[in-house]
């Protein structure tokens, strides 16, 4: 199995489940986001985990070919950048998070985008081979 297929099979269903959870529990997610942004330890820990996951993806799959697996590469690099920002500039994370997730509309948009990307990755990951 190729690395992009393996990662798509992991990330796709995860994004689908998170998207469904966000849409089904908007108020709960809004509270979780607010609590997260008020915890420096959680911002730091999520940065470490995000950076680690992003580096893992980039190390096993860093292909910039014009085909669907480039989505895996882009997600990996976005995770690397997000992890670095959370670790090195936690105040930026808090201010961006507060402005981005200040409304339920933003949470709905993020959930729908996650569902779309997750559905696509799941389809590609499980229809390959």
Compute the distance between CA of residue 58 and CA of residue 36 in angstroms, rounded to an integer.
Answer: 26
Q: What is the mean pLDDT of the chain?
A: 94
Name every residue whose Cβ is closer than 8 Å to that of residue 74 and which is 6 or more positions away in sequence.
Answer: none
- 76-94, pLDDT tens digit by residue? 999 999 999 999 999 999 9
Residue 38 DSSP label:
T
pTM of model > 0.85? yes
**What is the C-alpha to C-alpha distance for residues 96 and 101, in angstroms, rounded to an integer?**
8
The answer, yes or no, to whether residue 101 has pLDDT greater than 90, is no
42 CB neighbour count, 10 Å cutoff: 15
Question: What are the residue boundaries of the structural domains of the chain, listed by start?
Answer: 3-127
Over the stretch 39-84, which tens digit does the pLDDT of each residue have? Answer: 999 999 999 999 999 999 999 999 999 999 999 999 999 999 999 9
pLDDT in tens, 13-23: 999 999 999 99
Residue 24's pLDDT band, with cuts at 50, 70 and 90, is very high
Contact in structure between 25 and 127 (CB atoms under 8 Å): no
Residue 107 pLDDT > 70, yes or no? yes
pLDDT at 129: 64
Using the predicted structure, report yes or no on whether residue 128 has a pLDDT greater than 80. Answer: no
Residue 100 has pLDDT above 90, yes or no: no
Distance in angstroms (rounded) separating the CA atoms of residues 15 and 116:
9
Closest by CA to 101, choosing from 33, 22, 39, 46, is: 33
């Amino acid at each position: 199995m190729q690395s992009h297929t393996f990662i798509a099979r992991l990330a796709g269903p995860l994004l689908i489940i998170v998207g469904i959870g966000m849409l089904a529990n908007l108020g709960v997610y809004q509270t979780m986001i607010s609590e997260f942004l008020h915890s420096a330890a959680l911002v730091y820990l999520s940065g470490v985990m995000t950076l680690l996951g992003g580096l893992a993806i980039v190390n096993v799959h860093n292909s910039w070919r014009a085909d669907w697996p480039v989505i895996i590469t882009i997600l990996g690099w976005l995770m690397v950048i997000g992890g670095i920002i959370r670790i090195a500039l936690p105040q930026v994370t808090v201010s961006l998070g507060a402005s981005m997730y200040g409304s339920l509309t933003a949470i709905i948009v993020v959930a729908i985008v996650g569902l779309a990307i997750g559905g696509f990755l799941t389809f590609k990951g499980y229809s390959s081979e």
